[in-house]
Structures are given as structure tokens and as C-alpha cells.
Amino acid sequence: MFSVSLGEMKEFMRNFHSEMRKGLAGEKSSLRMLSEYVKKPRGTESGIFLGLDLGGTNFRILLLELTGKRKTRILSSSKFLLHKKHMTGAGTALFDFLAACIKSFTDKYKAGIDRKYRIGFTFSFPVKKRALARGILIRWTKGFRARGVEGKDVVLLLNESLKRKGLRCAEVVALANDTVSTLLARSYEDPDCDIGVILGTGTNACYCERAGEIINIEWGRFSKLRGTPYDKAVDRLSINPGEQLLEKMVSGMYLGRIARLVAEDLPGKGKLPGEFKSEYMSLIESDSSKNMQKTKNLLKKFGMPDPSYSDRKLLKKACSMVSTRAARLGAAAIASVITRMDARLLKKHTVAIDGSVYEKHSGFSRKIKQALKEIFGKNTKNIRLVLTKDASAKGAAILAATAAS
């Protein structure tokens, strides 16, 4: 059920291409293909800008200096934990919280500067943009559901909150998806970079379309997929049934949920108590300790005092099946985007990738590279996958710089 053959990856790519074309033409498609109103930076932009990143459990702020010679320097950065109440309460409370964080950051980082902060805002959700600094939230994903934000311009909401906090010297001048900031962060240094990918709590990518314009694919929503009964159950039990179907097979928010259902369905097995996180899968998959002692200890924490060795091995197999499928679907999606830009893979492409699953899940990046090799053969040498860590806030600041130049 979980295997993805080379033939299936190729079929995935054909479907993906056709959905991309339809989305770009404004026809009905599971890929949103959102225009970002931005092109790649030239590498000559310079100045000091503030970058924000909202999209997961932390809100990040960073002050970045661009040299104008493809180099950047982080002057200061901070991370603020988002609580459940921010993610699921009133939207105004969420944006007021962000403004309060920005105020505490700028108060701390005075350094004798009496300046206007030009802000780039990475907002990692599907947004319909109308200009570089205008964008309406279409739909929350990844467990967010703050009230009164869907259908609203998130730049206006944040600028209003900044004013309410008395921060007249700070203004959001550019808005971007996290895939776009990741692409920008890398391409400021590396002109070959033309794709930004996130494989973390959620998943998505953006790329440079024909005229160089950057398109946010929102690939987490891709739906031409052969799901298993486990995927259907995960979807049914989620807060957004019927939506984000590829995301629910590939991203960190869901991998643990699928593996758990598979494990619970093995003959004679009971329920696993507690939340089975994707991180646990990674630990189990990479467990090479004697008799899988590490897994035993982990399962003990779950209230399973004595799982047998054969159970532990079975669980390892289940986790590995689920994450291998995720990696192969992720690779097929990356391959689809590259071939949209360059059907015969004649040019060099750097793929800037960020996200906990790609970075930390045991064997994940290797499996993606392996699958790309199966698809492209020796031509894979033209593809470079580069882990571009914490690029969201940095890319947002670079975006603010492109707005100013």
C-alpha cells in the first residue's frame, strides 16, 4: 500500500504538470499557483531590514544587513513561542501579540538608531496577493484557525496592530510565503537557485515561472493521489477534512498520525496511548541499539511496559514505510517543478530546502536524493539540494530590501 514505484512517481509528475497548467490558466485545480508579485533578488540590494516569520510554533524576528555583494549579516534575532490561544483565538489578539514581540525586539535593539524599520513579513499560509505588500489569507492550515483572519489582508492587520502598540517607526513593506523567503535567502547568494521547498510541519514549494515571476504552488493541496485507508482516517480526524491531501501524506504534522494508525492495525496490537509524534518515528527508524533498546525505552514512556522485540521491529518497519513514501512523493513533486522549468534538465538548479522533516528525519534527505536519481538518471548532477536553515525571516528581510531598491 505504501510503496511508490518509479512508474508511480512519473504518473504523479504528469498529473502535477497538468494541475500546474490548469492552476496557471485560472482553471479549477488542486494547485493554487499563486503569483507572489516578486522576482529573484539581484544580489546588489543593500541596507538594514527587519524580517518576520510566522507559520509554526515560533514567531521569529531578525535584523539583517545586506552588503550589496551577495552577502548578509544577522545583527540580531529573537524567537517567541506562540501559544495555542494565539493560534486558535481571536485574530486581533494574534496580531497584537506579534506587534508586542516586535516592540520588545526593537526596544532592545536600539543601538542608537533612530530609524524607520522596513519590515518583510513571512506568513506561511496560502495568501492571495494583489501587490508585494497586500495579501488576503485564503485559508488557515497546519492547525491554525485564529478567528477573523481568513478573507482579510494580513499586512493591514499587522500594520494596524503595530500602530496600536505605538510603533510608528515600523511598517510592513513586503509579504511572502516561507517557500518564497527560502528561495530569496538562497538566491541572494546563489544565482542558480530557482526553487524554494519546505518539508516541515507543512509542505509547499515555489519556483520561477517563465518571466521570472515567482509562483507559490501550494502543493500541500495536491489531490491526485492514491491514499490508503490510513490516510483517509487521518484526513477525517483532522480539523480540515478534504483539504491539504499531499501535505497529510508528506509533512511532519501528519506522519506520526499515519504511522500510529498503521501500527495499531497490525494483527493483535492495541492502541498506542498519547500523541505519536513524527520525531519518534525518526528515532525508531534510526534505532541501531542492541535489541532496539532505545525504542523499548520510548515505548515505555507511552505506557507499554514490555513490547516484544518482534513488535519493535514491526513498528520500525511501519514507520519506515510511511516516511519512505513521504520522501518519494516529495521527490516526485520536486522533480515536477524542475521539469516544468526545464523539461530536459539542461541547466543547473539549486533547490533551497528548509523544514524539520528534511533536516532531521532520519534518512529522509537521502531517500529524496535517491528517488531523484531514479527519475533523472545521470542528469541529477544538475540538481543541487541545499538545506537553507532558518531562511524564512532572512528571506523576508531580503524581500523588504528588494521592495526598497
Catalytic residue numbers? 142, 178
| 171 strand-pairing partners | 118
Position of minimal CB gap to ligand BGC: 202
Question: What is Dmax (Cα atoms) for the chain?
Answer: 68
Residue 198: closest CA among 306, 116, 124, 139: 124
Nearer to ligand BGC, 133 or 318 (CB): 133
252 contacts ligand BGC (rule: CB under 6 A): no
Identify which range of 120-128, 235-243, 325-333, 371-379 contacts ligand BGC by CB under 6 A.
Answer: 120-128
Going by their DSSP bridges, the two strands 193-199 and 349-354 should be labelled as parallel
202 contacts ligand BGC (rule: CB under 6 A): yes
Residue among 19, 36, 45, 247 that touches ligand BGC (CB under 6 A) = 247
- Is residue 245 a contact partner of residue 221, using CB atoms and an 8 Å limit? yes
Distance from first CA to last CA of the chain, Å, rounded?
Answer: 52
Residue among 122, 161, 179, 336 that touches ligand BGC (CB under 6 A) = 179
45 contacts ligand BGC (rule: CB under 6 A): no
120 contacts ligand BGC (rule: CB under 6 A): no
41 contacts ligand BGC (rule: CB under 6 A): no
Nearer to ligand BGC, 220 or 395 (CB): 220
Query: At a CB cut-off of 8 Å and minimum separation 6, what does 392 contact?
Result: 51, 53, 55, 60, 122, 124, 178, 181, 182, 185, 354
Q: How far apart are CA 91 and CA 86, in angstroms?
A: 8
- CB-count exposure of residue 184 (10 Å: 0-12, 13-18, 19+): buried
Nearer to ligand BGC, 47 or 143 (CB): 143
330 contacts ligand BGC (rule: CB under 6 A): no
Task: List the interface residues with ligand BGC, window 217-246 (CB under 6 A).
Answer: 218, 220
Query: Which residues are at the interface with ligand BGC (CB under 6 A)?
Result: 55, 124-126, 141-142, 177-179, 198, 202-204, 218, 220, 247
